[in-house]
Structure 1
Amino acid sequence: MVSEFIKNKHLANRAGFGMSLQQIAAFEQQPVTDTWQMYARSRDFTPISYIMARTDVDYTDLSKMNAESKKQVQQLNRKRNIATNLNFLNTMVHADDQLREKMAFFWHGHFACRVVNANFSAHLLNEIRKNALGNFRDLLFAVSKAPAMLNFLNNQQNKKGHPNENFAREVMELFTMGPGNYTESDVREAARAFTGWSFNREAQFVVRRKFHDMGTKKFLGKTGNFDGNAVLDIILEQPATAKFITGKLYRFLVNEQANDAIVTALSKDFYHSGYDIKQLLERIFTASWFYDPINIGNKIKSPIELMVGIMRTLPMKIASPENLIVYQKLLGQMLLYPPNVAGWPSGKAWIDSSTLLLRMQVPQIWAGMRPLDLDAQNDDDLDMGLKQSRQLYKTFKNPQITIDWAQVEKAFSNRDPFQLLLQQQPSFTEKLLKRYAGSDKRMAIIETMCIPEYQLC
């Protein structure tokens, strides 16, 4: 039988980024129904602050600049993107509204987007965070009209007589219905409907009427003079859209191996609710099957989930937070910088011979017990930035972290680190307990965070 404490930790891992030190005592006492009410409580939305880009500079077309101006703009954008990245990371760690930030993290991967313009990136992130728990229609429209997404998917080149199909295709394939639920003709007709969708220098959505195709379109069995708004609404009319989104959420929140019967039932409710995201989440997190042992401790943490979870368990002051970007790159998941429009992989794709070793070393590195060992990272699997930025890693080896050990030791006092930190007890628990018997609590906590079972949530 699964204890209420295990259920509470399970909910904290999936509806947020893990249990904080302050939650331990409550999780030991209260039923999971009360814990869910805490996560589900409505809270005011607070945007992540960012610096607006100058509006007298066209940041989207570097080709018009001379070399020096281009370099300055690129450096400025890089600094601002890093600032937004770290603000988002910090919000995940400290926000009371864990459910919003966890869903924002999910949607930021679902609506994967990577642009140079830092103003556009931050705007898109806040649109996602604002709508993360609301209505999927509102979220889809906000993202589809965000300058970052229109720029990333080339819709500013989508003009009457010369349609660019990239935006229309990805909206259907990756953001809504999924493959197999539309035809190539639907892609072409949708692209015509999206002609003229663009943005101005103030990061505002605009429709450039002279570029819009006013002709009749045939899309998903309907005929009319459709614009982009109409196409999105027709997509939302398709039950396949609810099924695709529900299935992806199930794999993210519950189990990589989807239960088709449960997903089908959830998707029908999602569809008939008018795409109410919060209601779908409540159905998932209050279902008895969510707390079945088969769904507990079975998911491999993504790099961001791993990093944020460590920071929630070990309250810390970080003198050089910009160095956390290095760990995001090395582990394979840099916020605001997905590998492609399909987003990041999941599950076992996070683990290979290179990343597993570093993942297990991060707690020791951040606790000051060992340096970041570059020699252990020479595997070609990490080509995604290691070779090009080796000097960066030599310079930024440690974020200069000071852990509040007094607070940690107080929270862990008379408590078993295995019980608090793990959802699956390792087969060698007794051996480890004997090894750390009589040792200080700090070593027991850090070493527990370095074993393979800590990689699971």
Structure 2
Amino acid sequence: MVARVSRRGFLEGAAAFSAALWPALPARSAASMGFDEARHLLSRTSFGMTPAEIRAYETLDYTVAVDRLLSAPSREAATPAPGWIGMGPAEVRRAQQTAEAERRDKPDGRKAEVVRPVQEQGRELKIWWIEEMLGTEQPLIERMVWFWHGHFTSSLQKVRYPAALYRQNALFRREALGNYATLLKEVARDPAMLIYLDGMRSVARQPNENFGRELLELFTLGEGNYSEADIKAAARAFTGWSVNRETGQFVERGPQHDDGEKTFLGKTGRFGGEDILKILLAHPRTAETIVEKLWHEFVSLKPDAAEIKRLAADFRKSGYEIKPLLRALLLSASFRDPANRGSLIKSPVELIVGTVHVLGLPVPEKTGIVRMLQGLGQVPFDPPNVKGWAGGEAWISTYTLLLRQQFLRRMVEATTVAPMEGGMAMSARPNRRADRRQQLPGDDSTMQMMEPPRPVEGRSLRNAGNEARLGPTLTGVDSATLVRTLLPRQPVDGLDANGTPGAVVASALLDTAYQLK
């Protein structure tokens, strides 16, 4: 029987985990960081890690390990791009209009089944990114792409031009560890962003304030560090920055730009968009905002104010170089503090993609993963609003906690030697990331496993003693190592680490601590 856990109980239990750290393992050498610290480093910088991946880092000096993670050479996605990324918005609109016309009611009142390009391309785009998360050889790069996607949000629901979102995603990957000043300037001209925040319709006679507001509140200064007059001035400065409706490319329309005098953050001039960005990048709060967000993402939910200011000062001094900042964060005493291990709640993407990776699961039909993510409240290219996903404790509600537990139960049921009716026995397929880029045929039971289930409280596993069938990534690994791989801290719900490997994996996945990183 899996114990019922309430939201309050989960959060109170997570807060009390500081007393439940793993006993320290002896280091293999004086210079090596050891298994648990290697696990912590990889858990924050990837989408799940296998015992072999941890072993590859545990013998390294910690600084050497961080530098290895940051040395990723490629800035391109490994997963082949969808075939439609060259379509212009006009072509997509015409195809969409044709499809909509064909969907007119049949004589019996039902809609004709047709493929609508915007919806189909959007579905393929989400699957493409999930494949990249699973297939990447550079997980830190992909984690940073995901971070920038949550920082500079744009949504398929509003943009309705998937190729623009694909190109924005490529921009985030190019500058994942690059330069924030460059990234900010590119985002200001990014067609997906201009469509999403209505910049393409902002003209001198009627400036739209959406981009100016989010630029100040979310991308640079943070709430409370600017006035409404500053928003209006920024909106005027960016008038004329638009998108060509035929090609989908950025275009600057001079006649639609407000060239008048503006006062912005105490400075006065005939500012354009580039001038506004320059003023913002010179402001200390911009660097502090980015450091605070990265701290929440990688370190803890309780930033050290003095450290934030120190890191932000260095960030500005470097000209907004991201890699040195992230290196400083990962090398900080706060990041390495054992008390911060298991202090963050996994996002739905981390939970699901990470589980698939560590278990070595084949991915028969990635649409099922998208459906599950939708049920848990986090789908790529579909943020809830301009602020992105709140994260942290917001991931846990009574509903989502039950849904998370249900998902993990189904994963266990799908990998048991004696699965439940409708379950799926896991194939012994090699867990190389590159292998999982391949789309495998799936059966109905697989899709049933991936469907977002209705949460059921207190549902017990059939044959509670079942053991998970271990894939190549976990086969041959002793039980103690398995549980330390899967859990950042000692189990909350009770687990026999001396049990058989299959039983340990099944129990660890269902333990409350597995929800943490």
TM-score tier by shorter-chain length is 0.7 to 0.9
In the TM superposition, what are the counterparts of 1:296-445 in structure 2 within 5 Å? 296-367=341-412, 368=414, 369=419, 396-399=447-450, 405-410=470-475, 412-413=477-478, 415-427=480-492, 429=494, 432-433=495-496, 437=499, 439=500, 441-445=501-505
Q: Select the residue among 167, 170, 193 that pairs with 2:214.
A: 170
Once the 2 structures are TM-superposed, how far is the Cα of residue 111 of structure 1 from its aligned partner? Answer: 0.7
Q: Secondary structure at 1:336's aligned position in 2?
A: coil
Q: Secondary structure at 1:172's aligned position in 2?
A: helix
Q: Select the residue among 210, 213, 222 that pairs with 2:258.
A: 213
Which shifted more, 132-141 or 57-66?
57-66
Which shifted more, 103-112 or 74-83?
74-83
Deviations 1:98-134 (A, max 9, x none): 2111111111001111122111111111111111110
Hey, what's the Cα distance between the residues in 2 that align with 1:82 and 1:324? 11
Q: 2:354 corresponds to which letter in structure 1?
A: G
Q: 1:217 corresponds to which letter in structure 2?
A: K
1:25 aligns with 2:55: yes
Residue 85 of structure 2 is matched in structure 1 by 52
Residue 140 of structure 2 is matched in structure 1 by 99
Q: Secondary structure at 2:475's aligned position in 1?
A: helix
- Residues 145 and 60 of structure 1: CA distance in aligned 2, closer, same or farther (over 3 Å): farther
Hey, what's the Cα distance between the residues in 2 that align with 1:419 and 1:305? 18
Residue 379 of structure 1 is matched in structure 2 by none
Residue 39 of structure 2 is matched in structure 1 by 9
Residue 40 of structure 1 is matched in structure 2 by 70
Which shifted more, 61-70 or 114-123?
61-70
Q: Select the residue among 127, 140, 156 that pairs with 1:86.
A: 127
Hey, what's the Cα distance between the residues in 1 that align with 2:344 and 2:94? 41
1:450 aligns with 2:510: yes
Once the 2 structures are TM-superposed, how far is the Cα of residue 423 of structure 1 from its aligned partner? Answer: 1.1
Residue 153 of structure 1 is matched in structure 2 by 197
Q: Percent identity?
A: 33
Aligned partners of 2:202 and 2:208 also within 8 Å: yes
Residue 162 of structure 2 is matched in structure 1 by 118
Once the 2 structures are TM-superposed, how far is the Cα of residue 370 of structure 1 from its aligned partner? Answer: 5.2
Residue 243 of structure 1 is matched in structure 2 by 288
Residue 386 of structure 1 is matched in structure 2 by none
Hey, what's the Cα distance between the residues in 2 that align with 1:113 and 1:73? 27
Q: Select the residue among 186, 197, 203 that pairs with 2:248.
A: 203
Which shifted more, 44-53 or 69-78?
69-78
Which shifted more, 140-149 or 442-451?
442-451
Aligned partners of 1:8 and 1:27 also within 8 Å: yes
- Unpaired runs of 5+ residues, structure 2, are 1-22, 26-33, 105-112, 424-443, 452-467
Q: 2:135 corresponds to which letter in structure 1?
A: H
Aligned partners of 2:300 and 2:340 also within 8 Å: yes
What's the Cα RMSD here?
2.8
Residue 137 of structure 1 is matched in structure 2 by 181
Aligned partners of 1:59 and 1:73 also within 8 Å: no
- Residues 15 and 120 of structure 1: CA distance in aligned 2, closer, same or farther (over 3 Å): same
Hey, what's the Cα distance between the residues in 1 that align with 2:147 and 2:210? 22
Aligned partners of 1:196 and 1:210 also within 8 Å: yes
Number of positions where the alignment pairs a residue of Structure 1 with one of Structure 2: 431
Question: Is the helix fraction higher in 1 or 2?
Answer: 1
Once the 2 structures are TM-superposed, how far is the Cα of residue 456 of structure 1 from its aligned partner? Answer: 0.6
Q: Secondary structure at 1:426's aligned position in 2?
A: coil
- Residues 182 and 59 of structure 1: CA distance in aligned 2, closer, same or farther (over 3 Å): farther
TM score, norm. by length of structure 2: 0.77
Hey, what's the Cα distance between the residues in 1 that align with 2:349 and 2:422? 18
Hey, what's the Cα distance between the residues in 2 that align with 1:254 and 1:187? 32
Hey, what's the Cα distance between the residues in 1 that align with 2:421 and 2:308? 45
Aligned partners of 2:38 and 2:54 also within 8 Å: no
Aligned partners of 1:314 and 1:404 also within 8 Å: no
Q: 1:289 corresponds to which letter in structure 2?
A: S
Aligned partners of 2:151 and 2:388 also within 8 Å: yes
Q: 2:359 corresponds to which letter in structure 1?
A: L
Residue 276 of structure 1 is matched in structure 2 by 321
* Higher RCO (CA 8 Å, separation ≥ 6 residues): 2
1:191 aligns with 2:235: yes
- Residues 257 and 74 of structure 1: CA distance in aligned 2, closer, same or farther (over 3 Å): farther
Hey, what's the Cα distance between the residues in 2 that align with 1:171 and 1:10? 33
Aligned partners of 1:316 and 1:404 also within 8 Å: no
Once the 2 structures are TM-superposed, how far is the Cα of residue 203 of structure 1 from its aligned partner? Answer: 2.4
Q: 1:15 corresponds to which letter in structure 2?
A: T
Q: Secondary structure at 1:263's aligned position in 2?
A: helix
